[in-house]
Amino acid sequence: MKNNGYFKELFVGAKSLLVGLGVTFKAFTQPIVTVQYPREKLEITPNYRGHIELVRDPETGECPCIVCGMCARTCPCGCITVKGEKKEGEKRKSLTVFQLDFTKCSLCGLCVESCPKAAIDFSQDYNIAGFTREEFHYDLIKRLEERG
Amino acid sequence: MPEPCRPDSKPHRFFLNMGPQHPSTHGVLRVILEMDGEYVVDPQPVLGYGHRMHEKMAECRPWPQFLPNTGRMDYAAALPYNHGYVALIERLAGIEVPLRAEYIRVITSELNRIASHLLWFGALLLDLGAFTPILYSFDDREQILDILEDITGSRLTYCYFRVGGVSKDIDDKFVERTRAFIKRLRGRFPMYEKLVNGNIIFIKRVEDIGIIDADMCRRYGATGPVIRGAGVPYDIRKSEPYSVYPEFDFEIPVGSKGDSMDRFLVRFQEMEQSLRIIEQALDKLPEGPFMAKVPKKLKLPAGDANFSVEAARGELAYYLISDGSDVPYRLKIRVPSYSNLSLLPEMCRGMLLSDLVAAMGSLDLVIPEIDR
Ligand code: SF4
Ligand code: SF4
């Protein structure tokens, strides 16, 4: 009979909705999983790949970059500019310009892998915002000095 | 399928633009709908709003520099895209990959597949008007993103696989967290079933909607859960095995009718199968290097190569022609969503507009992959 099926469906359907409501009610009583972002912040993993940053050699305290330009050549997006000059009485070139155009960076990590001296590493900055493009043209030498 | 109420009364027809900024097209897809009242007479997708010339970019740069691009086509499941590209270069250049690296690739790819299915699960239900499930599925997806972030360094557009291996080895913490996640997700499936699969409103909205048979899938080249929903157990992981997939015991879920419900259930069961693969891979995880010795400046030998992988949405194939330099002469990418989208006009002719949303959601389209 047609009517039988109709009432059965009505019953089964109503039950399925109540079961679903039961699930949401159970979730309602459980601890909150979301983080109230601007007020609370999660710890970012140390393996996070942010934009790149020059690093110091822990022994000498100097940046070990030898201005070979490998990073700039490997970068798919062409966002690294390195320049250096040879100073009097020094064996290797010293770094004068290290610009990162973060607007174009795709955070692939190829530059860090290509560096023969491990002079660059990823930073942990993740919540970066700005009003102009130029705010993302980073002078990494300056940033290194500021970090001390 | 309901017939249009006034099939031949032309003057009543009108055009409706769905997209390019429409919440249910998930990206910049535009569908021009010729409507007859509430019925869709002819839906025509319009592509190209997110075109970024990925294939052209590949022809203009040395092959390693294309790696970040691979993760940006299908942003919801980037690792299979990574996998296809590095495996293609490895096949062309004849590089052996260490076993451990292959295992890591499989584990992370499958995690990514689950994350993608969870995203689709939530988004489909959101399209159908259910707001709650996406919050639960994102809670689970978040766990995967955290696990993968710790190891790949990014959360969405991964660039993790390298030619010859992976960029970073996995550690005990990763194994531990992944095992905990498997347990957690298995415990959540019954909840999803209660919340969604049995829900009468959901069933009424997807059952017998958008029926695609196997023959139609073959005509359009549809792959992935779409063809499996039509009852064809076609999965590259089984039919053209790559990497270490032959070593695992898993099933290919298939549907019977080929309606939206079948496609939904196929993806739902696939998550469980992916968990099985991950579990076995973690058990068998071999020791050893995670990166093969690859020459620093690797020139591609002249010739061509093809490599297909099972991405989260179907068959992804890369085809590369090399002229002997390190810049590819041509890279052709065959993406699953493009073929799956082409089903839309035939599938949705004569449907109610609200059913079109359900049917399109069940195809699981990712638009940046179509407009690569
Ligand atoms: S992470 Fe990639 S895109 Fe960014 S600077 Fe390094 S090489 Fe260039
Ligand atoms: S950062 Fe490394 S790769 Fe870049 S110029 Fe300096 S030494 Fe060379």
Q: Is A72 in the pocket of ligand 1 (CB under 6 A)?
A: no
pLDDT at residue B313, as a whole number: 87
ipTM of this predicted complex? Answer: 0.80
Q: Which ligand is nearest to the CA of A52?
A: 1
Q: Is the pLDDT of residue B8 over 60?
A: no
Per-residue pLDDT tens over the stretch A8-58: 888 888 888 888 888 888 888 888 888 888 888 888 888 888 888 888 887
pLDDT at residue B341, as a whole number: 87
Mean pLDDT across B128-142: 86
Tell me the nearest-neighbour CA distance from A4 into chain B, angstroms: 17
* Cβ–Cβ contact B168 with A under 8 A: yes
Confidence of residue B9 (pLDDT cuts 50, 70, 90): low
Q: Is the pLDDT of residue B329 over 80?
A: yes
pLDDT at residue B5, as a whole number: 55
Per-residue pLDDT tens over the stretch B246-264: 888 888 888 888 888 888 8
Q: Is A119 in the pocket of ligand 2 (CB under 6 A)?
A: yes
The domain ranges of chain B are: 54-345
Q: Is the pLDDT of residue B11 over 70?
A: no
CATH topology of domain B54-345: Cytochrome-c3 Hydrogenase; chain B (1.10.645)
Ligand 2 atom having least distance to the Cα of A114 = 3
Confidence of residue B55 (pLDDT cuts 50, 70, 90): confident
User: Of B254, B268, B309, B260, which Cα lies nearest the Cα of B117?
Assistant: B268
Q: Read off φ and ψ for residue B16, nearest 5 degrees.
A: -130, 135
Residues B343 and B205: their CA atoms lie apart, in Å, by: 19
Q: Do A108 and B153 touch (CB under 8 A)?
A: no
CATH number of A52-147: 3.30.70.3270
Query: Which of B108, B146, B160, B194 is the best mutation test for A, with the most CBs of A within 10 A?
Result: B194
Nearest to B150 among A9, A33, A45 (CB): A45
* Spatial contact of B95 and B161, defined as CB atoms under 8 Å apart: no
Query: To the nearest whole number, what is the mean pLDDT of chain B?
Result: 85
E strand or H helix at A139, and its extent?
A: strand A137-139
Confidence of residue B1 (pLDDT cuts 50, 70, 90): very low
Q: Which ligand is nearest to the CA of A144?
A: 2
Instruction: State both tokens at B257.
Output: 């009718």
Provide the terminal-to-terminal Cα distance of chain A, rounded to the nearest Å: 84
Residues B352 and B155: their CA atoms lie apart, in Å, by: 37
Mean pLDDT across B170-197: 86
Q: Is the pLDDT of residue B129 over 50?
A: yes
Percent over 70 (pLDDT), chain B: 97
Angle between helices B99-127 and B172-192 (to 10 degrees): 30
The domain ranges of chain A are: 52-147
Q: What is the 3-state secondary structure (H, E, C) of chain B?
A: CCCCCCCCCHHHEEEEEECCCCCCCCCCCEEEEEEECCEEEEEEEECCCCCCCHHHHHHCCCHHHHHHHHCCCCCCCHHHHHHHHHHHHHHHHCCCCCHHHHHHHHHHHHHHHHHHHHHHHHHHHHHCCCCHHHHHHHHHHHHHHHHHHHHHCCCCCCCCEECCEECCCCCHHHHHHHHHHHHHHHHHHHHHHHHHHCCHHHHHHHCCCCCCCHHHHHHHCCCCHHHHHCCCCCCHHHHCCCCCHHHCCCCCCCCCCCCHHHHHHHHHHHHHHHHHHHHHHHHHCCCCCCECCCCCCCCCCCEEEEEEEEECCEEEEEEEEECCCCCCCEEEEECHHHHHHCCHHHHHCCEEHHHHHHHHHHHCCCHHHHCC
Tell me the nearest-neighbour CA distance from B170 into chain A, angstroms: 12
* Spatial contact of B124 and B361, defined as CB atoms under 8 Å apart: yes
Q: What is the pTM of this model?
A: 0.86
- What DSSP letter does each residue of A21-33 carry, written as one string? HHHHHHHHTSPP-
Mean pLDDT across B164-192: 87
Per-residue pLDDT tens over the stretch A127-137: 888 898 888 88
Per-residue pLDDT tens over the stretch B291-323: 878 777 777 888 888 888 988 888 889 998 888
Instruction: State both tokens at A85.
Output: 């000059």
Q: Is the pLDDT of residue B12 over 80?
A: no
Mean pLDDT across B27-56: 84
Please, what sign has the CA dihedral across residues A102, A105, A106, A111? negative
Residues B240 and A142: their CA atoms lie apart, in Å, by: 53
